[in-house]
Amino acid sequence: MQILFASSHSHDPDVWINPLRKALPYLEFVQWDENGDSINAELAIVWNPPTQIFEREKNLRAVFNLGAGVDAILQRPGLTDKVAIYRLEDAGMAVQMAEYATWALLRASRNFDAYQQQQQQKNWQRLPDIQRDAWPVGVLGLGVMGSRVAQTLAGFDYPVAGWSRSAKQLDGVETWAGDEQFSGFLSRTRVLINTLPLTSETHSILCRKTFEQLLPGACIINMGRGEHLVEQDLLAMLDEGHIQQATLDVFAQEPLPADHPFWAHPGVTVTPHMSAASLRDVTIRQTAEKVRAFIAGEPVSGLVERNRGY
């Protein structure tokens, strides 16, 4: 059986194809050729696949994504319901997102940014001790990533709540669910951390209406997608003082343009989409197991529900 490897990224495909061949030696891997013809593949392993993949490869039965977010796949023309889409559930990303969220939260709640400024001024001065109750955390999304973030921060004794589309239970975390509980979740939150997948329902969820319901002196940490954020709303509320700071790892346009106001705004920290990366060895093992199980007719984890977008 032939399996197509298709990515629109510029990295060396052999970095992925060679170890996949070792893990699945009974399959023939074929690299996507931008100017080639259809190979009539039934299976494909992809990352940000080429725009025309589904229009050219009409016999695909399943696509295995080398990441957790599948919004790029769902936007490709020619995708039909007959194609099953499987995503990674973690591959080392959850703990990295928890680290990133911890770093961003501690910079604010422990005054580490202020201490760094004092060092530059050669100013030896202790600032007020932390009051954790003054820093209630709210995590948007309680999948594998969001749950790890929420429970990690709860382990530092911050009051942590999580909001998800459907009801969930999580040890040490207060949980809220559905549209009817969204406002209540926001009104108890000062540090809002976004780990949601990008869907039609979550697009622009980080907007003025959301921000206005947060506690004063709010902090925003966005590790989801750039399209979750209405950038002008964030800038306005930073300037108005309702939001204290924002730590942003994802943007609607990447790389972030050199003239974008986020670069120079004193209340914004920019990182280049690095909060979490799929660790290659773990990704290859997990993807190879999904492919093996699919071919064997066994249950495969990570099946994307099209109506939810994840």
CA distances from 104 to 197, 270, 271, 278 (A): 20, 11, 11, 21
First CA to last CA distance, the chain: 28
Instruction: Check if 273 is active-site.
Output: yes
Instruction: Check if 203 is active-site.
Output: no
CA distances from 265 to 6, 178, 194 (A): 38, 34, 21
Query: CA-to-CA distance for 141 and 193, rounded, in angstroms?
Result: 9
Query: 242, 273, 280, 306: which is the annotated catalytic residue?
Result: 273
Query: 56, 107, 165, 225: which is the annotated catalytic residue?
Result: 225
Query: CA-to-CA distance for 299 and 162, rounded, in angstroms?
Result: 29
Q: How many helices (H) and strands (E) does the chain have?
A: 10, 12
Residues 6+ apart with CB under 8 A from 116: none
E strand or H helix at 238: helix 231-240
Residues 6+ apart with CB under 8 A from 209: none
- Active site residues per annotation: 225, 273
